[in-house]
């Protein structure tokens, strides 16, 4: 349990979240446990820069689903910062906006999957983006976070152990956290919806209700792009 003297550590869970699913939630939970994060900020992207096509569901539906997913989770909040910002949702620009609004880099922990972080050299403003926050890299099914230490030797000086106490070394760090997370993807969920298959258990129950009610991710979707 955190004491009142513990430093603030805010985890940022970004992504298209199209839709948010149990894999996203468990990834952030693993990060919170490993680094003793005081809060989780969920931030749906407006325009993901690494996707050829835009999100299937509108920003309004994706924000609503994220809100439903975290409504019963303590110290989890959904933020519309990226949804309000014009242009591609680059992590570097997002972190700079958060800093201008008072969230210091030393307090910010950007959460990402090992598969996404493996492509860090392609991210906008690499390597400068790594100075804007700590990064918590969580294993994905079939992709251990610890394997990145060998794949990205140029980041060796940044890699830190992620102990339960959340103790950090000076400077922006990269924490590689091996943790089991569900083998779920938004792509698979959308495909299941198009095929008329169940998505029960792949998304939080309230998110499933929203998807079914609004007929999202089907050929007869109602208001996906409102």
Q: Where are the domains of the chain?
A: 10-213
- Find out whether 39 and 73 touch, Cβ atoms under 8 Å: no
Q: From CA 91, how far away is CA 47, in angstroms rounded?
A: 11
Q: What is the pLDDT of residue 171?
A: 66
Residue with the bigger pLDDT between 108 and 160: it is 108
Would the pLDDT of 207 be above 60?
Answer: yes
Q: How far is CA 205 from its chain centroid? A: 19
Residue with the bigger pLDDT between 161 and 195: it is 195
Give the model's confidence band at 2: pLDDT under 50 very low, under 70 low, under 90 confident, else very high.
very low
- Name the percent of the chain lying above pLDDT 70: 90
Residue with the bigger pLDDT between 2 and 13: it is 13
Q: What is the pLDDT of residue 160?
A: 87
Q: From CA 160, how far away is CA 185, in angstroms rounded?
A: 28
From the DSSP assignment, how many helices (H) and strands (E) are in the chain?
8, 7
Both tokens of residue 113? Answer: 């999957």
- pLDDT (mean) for 15-43: 97
The predicted-structure confidence for 146-176, as pLDDT tens digits, reads as follows: 999 888 999 988 998 775 344 444 568 999 9
- pLDDT (mean) for 107-136: 96
Q: Does domain 10-213 have CATH number 3.40.50.620?
A: yes
Q: From CA 221, how far away is CA 182, in angstroms rounded?
A: 27
Would the pLDDT of 209 be above 70?
Answer: yes
The predicted-structure confidence for 59-106, as pLDDT tens digits, reads as follows: 999 999 999 999 999 999 999 999 999 999 999 999 999 999 999 999
Would the pLDDT of 204 be above 90?
Answer: yes
Both tokens of residue 52? Answer: 């050829």
- Scanning the chain, the segments in alpha helix (DSSP H) are 22-35, 59-70, 81-84, 91-100, 114-117, 148-151, 186-194, 205-213
């Amino acid at each position: 349990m955190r004491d009142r003297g513990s430093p603030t550590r805010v985890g940022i869970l970004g992504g298209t979240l199209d839709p948010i699913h149990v894999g996203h939630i468990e990834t952030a939970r693993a990060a919170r446990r490993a680094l003793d994060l005081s809060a989780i900020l969920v931030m749906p992207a407006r325009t993901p820069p690494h996707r050829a096509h835009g999100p299937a569901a509108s920003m309004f539906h994706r924000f609503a689903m994220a809100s439903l997913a975290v409504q019963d989770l303590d110290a989890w909040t959904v933020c519309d910062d990226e949804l309000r910002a014009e242009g591609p949702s680059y992590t570097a620009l997002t972190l700079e906006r958060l800093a201008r609004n008072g969230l210091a880099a030393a307090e910010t922990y950007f959460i990402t999957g090992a598969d996404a972080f493996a492509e860090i050299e392609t991210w906008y403003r690499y390597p400068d983006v790594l100075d804007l926050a700590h990064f918590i890299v969580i294993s994905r099914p079939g992709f251990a976070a610890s394997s990145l230490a060998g794949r990205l030797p140029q980041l060796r000086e940044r890699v830190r152990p992620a102990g339960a106490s959340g103790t950090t070394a000076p400077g922006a760090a990269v924490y590689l956290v091996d943790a089991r997370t569900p083998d779920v993807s938004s792509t698979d969920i959308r495909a299941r919806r198009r095929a008329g298959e169940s998505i029960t258990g792949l998304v939080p129950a309230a998110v499933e209700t929203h998807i079914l009610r609004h007929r999202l991710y089907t050929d007869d979707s109602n208001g996906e792009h409102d």
